[in-house]
Each structure stands twice: as structure tokens, then as C-alpha cells.
């Protein structure tokens, strides 16, 4: 029996995102899949090295209490910012792409692009 | 002695503050600044060579806690190469109209990120730098805003983001197991792990992402479109193809050294490198567009470098690294001259360009010298590095494989070289910029000097003395002459009139297929490691 915790859920979520990338032709859905993968990674990191009953590593933690590992949580602040930047840039690029090629389908856009060559 | 973090920060600061000056002054300052940066890197290089690696803990944290910058000989040599290429590019764009404030901001920002990737010792930090570099390169690819390049940029961007998500997932798993993110601390900690099977997943995740960055066999489909896009100025293609792909190889090398005591995949990567090299030159032969041909030839040369650094033999290893440097030099020259030829002839089709040698003599000479470099002609830099790789491979099947790869490269560049000859339709002389000519001629002269002083340069750059046996070198050169004749024969009989490989061009992977190939590569790595460990 695999335990239902943050790590297993995040691995499942990650591959849900990968499935979306492989199986969906829609560009917006591709960008959404990347966001899902990012969320999975964040969930994985924040749930690593957390013992049951530990407290968040913020402020003056009582020495008697067990605090969670602060490093992955600090890393994830950076990754959340990167994730937002990536999604925003991806959507901006998509708007430009849509204006020029008039489609949200990867296949159709690729065909139109190759006609330019 | 300037500290290492200034190498990373100063291009960014200069690139931002240049906005305050008029563009003409800004361009002059760029050249001065790049020269100063090159001088500073040279000083650091001398220091590293005399006293060993420099370490700098950012934020004055104790070792392995915070981010560490580490300048060892290889990293410093790579930084030196980057600064040199960026200096050449800044001089090259001095009289170009497209080089405005925004361009310099992005360009110098990319420089600081590349230097950061080479110097950083922290895996998460490398992830952040690569992610930021992806964003900057995406904008640079579509800098001239041609319609087609939006698609190229979008593909480049999303595929690299997907790959780096794999990297980060692997990093998370690695951190959970080991608890450090510093390369050298990881190396020390991994040698204590006694169950390598527990590291299969993190290793597979990370190596998949880095193989994509280094453009290995199933994962290179994003590269040619990005490097050969019509919209990118040729200096951008140079930095992408000459330098940025090398960051992938560099991180690959660091990762392999870190995992080496537990997971040894060098044989697999020799085979993958070989396949990459062969597929690369086949695809290059199929192209009609000069920039795409050069981009696919980059894929092929990456395969050669990969073979060199994965062979577990000192001669091949240093030969591979020297080939990495050489490739940066001759591919830069080729991309720059291709850009000049395109802007002169207003076409990108190889078959429509004739008589470059008589019409643009300086460009012609530079092209010839760099072609001689890339095909490994005697006395040119390519011959030294290819010779070293072949020495390291002697006795195995890969030695004959290398001859085949070189034959392929020769045929590709015979096809490319056709644009030099013939009669140009243009009457009036080409008015290329004097600075552009100076840059391409200097770079192409380096191809020659790198061959003459090959072993001395290796001794200076990597502090390793490799003697080149004149007898076996002569033997290789006879083999080279044989390959030339065979290549000429094959070219004349098969490729002169028509292109039997043209059908390959119709196979193009879309976004979903590339994501599928990333996933399959990952699954293959997991299965391969499960079986071999």
C-alpha cells in the first residue's frame, strides 16, 4: 500500500502534467500542463523532510519543537516566482502566435509555419 | 584581484546603465567594458592556474550552506571563452542598426547568466540561471519579429521549460535523499551512499533535462529551429550555437562527475553521442537553408564532443573539451559569415548563392579557414581535437565510427562550400563593414593558430600535457586525405545534382512529439539503469 502523502500525490500530478503535454494539441492546455507540473514540483519540495507534527520554520521557533526543513521552502519561493514568469511569458507568446497563425492547435500552427520556408 | 561575483554582476549592471547613454557612446563603452572583462578573466585564469581553484561563498555562509561560486581551471577556461566570444560579437555589431539599448541589455544579461552557469557550484542556482537564460534567448530569437520566428521561439521556450521541470523534480528527489545542493558536497555525500538503486529516479530526471540542453540524439529537435531561425541576428545564432549549447555539455560533465562513483553511464553516452553525430550530419545534408545546415552540423559536432568526454580516457576527454572550444571558434565564424552572405545575397538557399569567394573575398577566406577547421584538415584546430579523441578511442569500434562521422562532416561542408565558387550575379563590389571583416578574419585565423599550437594551447588552458605523436598524426592525415577523396566521390555521384536525403526534411516533430520523446528518453534511462545497476 503506497502511503497517500504529499510526495506520492505530487509525483502523480507531475505525470498528469506530462500526459497533458503529450496528449493535448491545444497550446493553452500545454501551458496549463506546464503549470500543473510546476505545482507538483512545489508540492514535492515543501513536503520533503517534514516530520509529522513539525512546525513551520518561521520566526522564533521554540527549541523544544521540531521545525520543518526550511531550505526547500525557501527554494520554492524562487520557483513560484519563476513559474509565474514562465506562465506569463508563455501566454504572451501565445497571444502573438495566435495573432499571426490564427490557431490554437500545434499541428495547424506547425503546418502554417513551414509554409513560410 | 576582483571577486568572482563581479564577473557575473558587471555585465548586467553595464547592460542596464547603458540605457542612460546615447546608443553611439553605449556601443563604445560596451567594447571597452568587454575588453576590461576579458582582462579581468585572464587575471583570474592566471591566478587559478598558479594557486588552484578559487572559492567564494556568497553571503559569507559556511561551506555547503549558501551559494558557492567556484572557479576551477575548466570553469575559468569556459568563462574566458565566453568573454572572448562576447567581445568579438560586440565589435561585430558595432555598426549594425538592430543593436539598440534593448538588444545590449538582453545580450549582456545573457552573458552574465552564461558566466554564472559556468561558475556556480549550486545545483538549484544553476536551474535558476538556465531558466532565466531560456527567457532571454526566447526574446533574442524573435528579435527581428518575423512571423515564423514566433513559432520557433514558442517551441524553444516551452520545450526548455518542460525539460527544466524534469530537472527540478530530479533535484527535489536528490535533495530529499542527500540533503545538500552543492556540487562538491554532493560528490562527497554520494560516495557514502551504498545503494545506487535509490538514485536512479533523480539521476534519470536530471540527465534527461541536461541531455535535452546539450541536444543529444532524440532530444535535439528544438535546436535547429532556434539556432537557424531567420529572425535572429547572426550574433545571436553564434552565441546560441557556439556557446550556449556548451553550457548544457558543461552541466552534463559536472553531473556525470558527481554521480560517477555510483552510476556509470559513459558507455551509453558514447553510443548516444555516435548516433547524434551520424543523425546530425545526415539531417545537415538534407537541408537547403544555410543557417539550418550549420545548426544541424552543430548537433553533429556535439555528438563528437560527447563521445570524447564519455570515453573514460584522458586523451579523449581533453580532446573532447578542446573540440568544444574549437567548435565555438569555427562555428561562430561560419554563422557570422553566413549572416553576412545572407544580407548580401538576400537569400538563404544554398543553391541560389554563388561566387562568394570572388564577390566577398574576406568572407570567402574566413569561410574556407573555418571549414578546414571543422572538417579536421591537417594543421587546423579540428584535426588536433579529433586526433586526440581518436587516440583515446583506438582499438574500439568507435575509432572507425569517428572516421565515418568525419566523412559525413566533409560531405556536408563540400555541399556548403559550393556557395564559394561559381560566378556571382552581382556586379558591384560588396560593401561589408570593415569591423565585421576584421572579426571574422581574426576568428578564422584562430582556427589555424589553434591547430599549429594545439598541444601548447591545451597545456595552457587545461594544465595538462598531451604529446601529439607525429607518426600517428601523419597516419590520421593520410586517412583524412582518403576521406576527402571518398567524400568528393560520394558528393559528386550522389549529392551534386539532386538530394537523396531530402525526404528527411518532411519528418518534423511537433510539440507533443518532442514531449513524448522527452518522456520516452526518461523512461529509457530508468529502465536502462534498473537493468545495469
Architecture in CATH for domain A1-50+70-102: Orthogonal Bundle (1.10)
Cell numbers 560517477 correspond to B260
Reported as a single tens digit per residue, the pLDDT across B384-400 is 899 999 888 888 888 88
Reported as a single tens digit per residue, the pLDDT across B81-110 is 999 999 999 999 988 888 889 999 999 999
In B, which residues are within 8 Å of A101 by CB distance?
A: 147, 150-151
Q: Does A72 touch chain B (CB under 8 A)?
A: yes
Alpha carbon distance A101, A103 (integer Å) = 6
Who among B153, B175, B519 is closest to A93 (CB)?
Answer: B153
What angle, 0 to 180 degrees and rounded to 10, lies between the N-to-C axes of helices B381-393 and B454-462?
A: 70
Asked if B154 and A93 come within 8 Å (Cβ–Cβ), the reply is yes
**Whole-number Cα distances in Å, B7 to A67, B111, B348, B495:** 37, 10, 37, 48
Task: Please name which of B269, B257, B175 lies closest in space to residue B214, comparing C-alpha atoms.
Answer: B269
For the cut 90, the answer to whether the pLDDT of residue B334 exceeds it is yes
In A, which residues are within 8 Å of B516 by CB distance?
A: 22
Give the ranges where B346-469 is alpha helix by DSSP (H). Answer: 356-359, 361-374, 381-393, 397-417, 434-452, 454-462
Phi-psi sector, B96: left (phi>0), alpha (psi -120 to 50), beta: beta
Cell numbers 576551477 correspond to B72
Question: Which residue of chain A comes nearest to B289, CA vs CA?
Answer: A117
Reported as a single tens digit per residue, the pLDDT across A60-78 is 777 777 778 888 888 999 9
Q: Does A43 touch chain B (CB under 8 A)?
A: no
In A, which residues are within 8 Å of B169 by CB distance?
A: 14, 37, 40-41, 44
Asked if B512 and A100 come within 8 Å (Cβ–Cβ), the reply is no
Reported as a single tens digit per residue, the pLDDT across B172-209 is 999 988 888 888 888 888 888 888 888 999 999 999 99
Mean pLDDT (whole number) for B398-426: 87
Size of interface A-B (CB pairs under 8 A): 98
User: Residue A23, CB half-sphere, CA atoms under 13 Å: how many?
Assistant: 6
Who among B124, B150, B181 is closest to A96 (CB)?
Answer: B150
Let me know if B423 is exposed, middle or buried by CB neighbors in 10 A (0-12, 13-18, 19+). Answer: exposed
What is the distance in angstroms between the CA of the first residue and the CA of the last residue of chain B?
47
Count of residues for chain A? 117
Question: Which residue of chain B comes nearest to A34, CA vs CA?
Answer: B162
Cell numbers 555510483 correspond to B262
Grade residue A117 by pLDDT with cuts at 50, 70 and 90.
low
Mean pLDDT (whole number) for B77-84: 94
Alpha carbon distance A113, B149 (integer Å) = 9
CA distance A88 to chain B (A): 11
Domain boundaries along the sequence of chain B: 1-121, 129-263+501-533, 265-500
In A, which residues are within 8 Å of B172 by CB distance?
A: 41, 44-45, 48, 72
Domain boundaries along the sequence of chain A: 1-50+70-102
Please tell me which residue, B362 or B504, carries the higher pLDDT value.
B362
CB B170 within 8 A of CB B205: yes
Amino acid at each position: 500500500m503506497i502511503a497517500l502523502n504529499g510526495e506520492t500525490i505530487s509525483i502523480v500530478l507531475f505525470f498528469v502534467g506530462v500526459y497533458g503535454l503529450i496528449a493535448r494539441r491545444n497550446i493553452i492546455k500545454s501551458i496549463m500542463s506546464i503549470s500543473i507540473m510546476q505545482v507538483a514540483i512545489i508540492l514535492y519540495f515543501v513536503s520533503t523532510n517534514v516530520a509529522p507534527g513539525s512546525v513551520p520554520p518561521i520566526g522564533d521557533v521554540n527549541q523544544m519543537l521540531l521545525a520543518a526543513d526550511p531550505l526547500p521552502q525557501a527554494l520554492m519561493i524562487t520557483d513560484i516566482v519563476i513559474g509565474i514568469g514562465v506562465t506569463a511569458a508563455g501566454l504572451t507568446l501565445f497571444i502573438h502566435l495566435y495573432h499571426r497563425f490564427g490557431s490554437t492547435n500545434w499541428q495547424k500552427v506547425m503546418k502554417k509555419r513551414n509554409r513560410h520556408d | 584581484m576582483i571577486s568572482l561575483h563581479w564577473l557575473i554582476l558587471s555585465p548586467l549592471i553595464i547592460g542596464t546603465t547603458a540605457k542612460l547613454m546615447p546608443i553611439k557612446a553605449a556601443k563604445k563603452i560596451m567594447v571597452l567594458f568587454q575588453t576590461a572583462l576579458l582582462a579581468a578573466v585572464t587575471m583570474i585564469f592566471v591566478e587559478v592556474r598558479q594557486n588552484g581553484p578559487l572559492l567564494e561563498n556568497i553571503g559569507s555562509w559556511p561551506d555547503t550552506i549558501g551559494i558557492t561560486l567556484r572557479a576551477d581551471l575548466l570553469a575559468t577556461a569556459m568563462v574566458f571563452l565566453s568573454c572572448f566570444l562576447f567581445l568579438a560579437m560586440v565589435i561585430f555589431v558595432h555598426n549594425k542598426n538592430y543593436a539598440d539599448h534593448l538588444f545590449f541589455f538582453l545580450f549582456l544579461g545573457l552573458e552574465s547568466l552564461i558566466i554564472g552557469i559556468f561558475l556556480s557550484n549550486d545545483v538549484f542556482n544553476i536551474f535558476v540561471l538556465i531558466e532565466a537564460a531560456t527567457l532571454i534567448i526566447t526574446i533574442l530569437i524573435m528579435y527581428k519579429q518575423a512571423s515564423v520566428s514566433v513559432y520557433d521561439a514558442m517551441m524553444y521556450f516551452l520545450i526548455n521549460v518542460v525539460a527544466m521541470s524534469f530537472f527540478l523534480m530530479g533535484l527535489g528527489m536528490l535533495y530529499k535523499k542527500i540533503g545538500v545542493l552543492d556540487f562538491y558536497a554532493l560528490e562527497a555525500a554520494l560516495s557514502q551512499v551504498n545503494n545506487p538503486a535509490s538514485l536512479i529516479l533523480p539521476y534519470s530526471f536530471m540527465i534527461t533535462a541536461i541531455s535535452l540542453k546539450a541536444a543529444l540524439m532524440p532530444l535535439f529537435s528544438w535546436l535547429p529551429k532556434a539556432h537557424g531561425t531567420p529572425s535572429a541576428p547572426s550574433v545571436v545564432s553564434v552565441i546560441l550555437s557556439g556557446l550556449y549549447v556548451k553550457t548544457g555539455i558543461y552541466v552534463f560533465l559536472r553531473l556525470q562527475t558527481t554521480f560517477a562513483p555510483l552510476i556509470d553511464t559513459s558507455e551509453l553516452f558514447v553510443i548516444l553521442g555516435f548516433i547524434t553525430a551520424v543523425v546530425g550530419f545526415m539531417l545537415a545534408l538534407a537541408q537547403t537553408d544555410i543557417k539550418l545546415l550549420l545548426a544541424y552540423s552543430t548537433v553533429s559536432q556535439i555528438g563528437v564532443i560527447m563521445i570524447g568526454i564519455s570515453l573514460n580516457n584522458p586523451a579523449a576527454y581533453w580532446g573532447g573539451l578542446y573540440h568544444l572550444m574549437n567548435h565555438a571558434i569555427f562555428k561562430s565564424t561560419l554563422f557570422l559569415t553566413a549572416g553576412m552572405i545572407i544580407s548580401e545575397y538576400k537569400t538563404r538557399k544554398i543553391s541560389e548563392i554563388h561566387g562568394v569567394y570572388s564577390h566577398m573575398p574576406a568572407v570567402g577566406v574566413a569561410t574556407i579557414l573555418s571549414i578546414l577547421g571543422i572538417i579536421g584538415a591537417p594543421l587546423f584546430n579540428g584535426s588536433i581535437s579529433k586526433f586526440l579523441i581518436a587516440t583515446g578511442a583506438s582499438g574500439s569500434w568507435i575509432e572507425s565510427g569517428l572516421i565515418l562521422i568525419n566523412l559525413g562532416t566533409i560531405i556536408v561542408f563540400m555541399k556548403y562550400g559550393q556557395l564559394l565558387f561559381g560566378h556571382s550575379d552581382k556586379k558591384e563590389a560588396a560593401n561589408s563593414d570593415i569591423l565585421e571583416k576584421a572579426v571574422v578574419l581574426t576568428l578564422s585565423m584562430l582556427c589555424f593558430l589553434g591547430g599549429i599550437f594545439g598541444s601548447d594551447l591545451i597545456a595552457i588552458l587545461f594544465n595538462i600535457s598531451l604529446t601529439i605523436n607525429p607518426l600517428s598524426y601523419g597516419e590520421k592525415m593520410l586517412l583524412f586525405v582518403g576521406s576527402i577523396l571518398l567524400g568528393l566521390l560520394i558528393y559528386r555521384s550522389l549529392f551534386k545534382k539532386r538530394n537523396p536525403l531530402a525526404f528527411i526534411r518532411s519528418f518534423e516533430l511537433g510539440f507533443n512529439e518532442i514531449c513524448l520523446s522527452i518522456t520516452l528518453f526518461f523512461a529509457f534511462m530508468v529502465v536502462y539503469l534498473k537493468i545495469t545497476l
